[in-house]
Amino acid sequence: MSEKLLKIGHRGAKTYVAENTIASIEKALEFDVDAIEVDVHKCKSGELVVFHDFTLDRMTNGSGEVSKHTLKQLKNLKVNGQYEIPTLEQVLDTIDKKCIINIELKGRDTALATCKIISKYIDTKQWNLNHFLISSFQHHELEAVYKFNNQLRTGVLTKASVSDAIEFANTINAYAIHPNVALVTKDNVKTAQEKGYKVLTWTVNDQLSIKRMKTYGVDGIISDNPDLI
């Protein structure tokens, strides 16, 4: 692929600041990234929040499932003793079109709410379709995105099989395949690209692996330390 390699911050800039926080997003922007990947869940009161795990226990002073807490309850918690859990809208307002946002639909039933927010930002805040890339391991969430607006860019996440991901990508006219770094070969990158898909691999943190992915010709690298790309 002739276009430039995309430098993508994973959960913001996870190596440097607590993942999926506004401070982590700001750190990634300081590194002049091309895109920032975040994870979304729907909370009990219906808003989309940016958080990785299905449960609060690892990253906050709370406990139990994110989806069983209201936004008000989540806002009373601290990530790593310090940060708020942000809403997707707060993250979008922080990025403010300075780079692409890769929204991973992590939680159940997140596609429609995400698409509605994207529409709102396109209609009222001068964002455009190219600012967004929606990825998921969950095929039905990606199908829901495709049904809502087939022009939205989608990425099929896989940690199992690039060829299966390509097969599914074909059914939703996906933009990209997002394979775990352990699956990537020079050949499967070429195959995916020949079929018209970008290849964005994760999570590539060490210099040697970053170099290897570059020699394989991937289109983008998702990294906890995007400054090394």
Which partner from the list Ca ion, ligand G3P, none does 7 bind, CB cut-off 5 to 8 Å by kind? none
Which partner from the list ligand G3P, Ca ion, none does 178 bind, CB cut-off 5 to 8 Å by kind? ligand G3P
Residues forming contacts to ligand G3P in the complex (CB under 6 A) are: 10, 37, 39, 52, 104, 135, 157, 178, 202-203, 222
52 catalytic? Reply is yes
CA 135 to chain centroid, in Å, comes to 6
Task: Name the segment binding Ca ion (CB under 5 A); options: 28-36, 40-48, 99-107, 109-117.
Answer: 99-107
Contact 225, 12 (CB under 8 A): no
Query: What minimum distance in Å lies between the beta carbon of 39 and Ca ion?
Result: 4
Interface with Ca ion, residue 39, by CB under 5 A: yes
Q: Which of 41, 52, 131, 178 is catalytic?
A: 52
Contacts of 105 (CB under 8 A, 6+ apart): 40, 111, 114, 134, 135, 136, 138, 141, 142, 145
DSSP string covering 58-114: TTBS--SBGGGS-HHHHHTS-BTTTBPPPBHHHHHHHHTTSSEEEEEE-STT-HHHH
Q: Tell me, by CB under 5 A, how many residues bind Ca ion.
A: 2
131 catalytic? Reply is no
- Active-site positions? 10, 52
